Amino acid sequence: MIPILLTSANTLTERKRDYAIDRKHSTDCQSQEANHREPVDQLERVISYLQKQDSENGSDFTYNDDAIDILTEAQDGLQECDCSGGDMEHNEYRYFNGNVENYKGESPEDIRKYILQDYERMERLHRGDWCYIGIRAEAEVSLTGDVLQEVSSGGLWGIESDSSKEYFAETEADELAELCKQLTAVGFSKRAITTAVKNAMHENV
């Protein structure tokens, strides 16, 4: 008899990208770029228009100065913190720089939504709500006398532990199929392999 085991195993300090999340603040804090970017950009366009008017009318024409000052103050106000703190703990990275390239071609609103989903997923990983695991099929066989040797499938790693039962079952079946091919190649009969598969055990390491 060939005993078979199916095993599983657990396996920034600066803003680097657009839509980065500052973990020092809550995700709904207005200081988060995603929460103030659009209104701040709108005000910036108005300020640029007023500055252009001043420039075209000569240096002595300062009619728009007061309006520009008010709009600039409004910009600053939109970027001020209005929360009591975020998820950042001592000695942890401050910024979550999401992989914006994954959402190339999407609208800014959708990109912000997807990056936030990625961030929340990362925080659940950090809390231990889920982890990455690997699955492979192993068999201990005797090829020469009493010496036991291990034969295993290549394994699939980086599987999210909260994946569906169907996905786990499919992956296990694939790993078993690969192991069966290896056992056949070293000379075990189809009957012996079938019996071993029926008696396969699960083991977490």
What is the model's pLDDT at position 121?
93
Q: Tell the residue number behind the tokens 């056992």, with chain if given.
A: 183
Task: Give me the residues of the chain with pLDDT under 70, please.
Answer: 1-14, 58-63, 145
Q: What does the pLDDT read at residue 196?
A: 86
What pLDDT, on the 0 to 100 scale, is given for residue 164? 95
What span, in angstroms and rounded, lies between the C-alpha atoms of 44 and 68?
10
Residue 155 has a pLDDT of 94
pLDDT at 60: 57
pLDDT digits (tens, 9 = 90+) for 46-81: 888 888 877 777 655 566 788 888 888 888 888 888
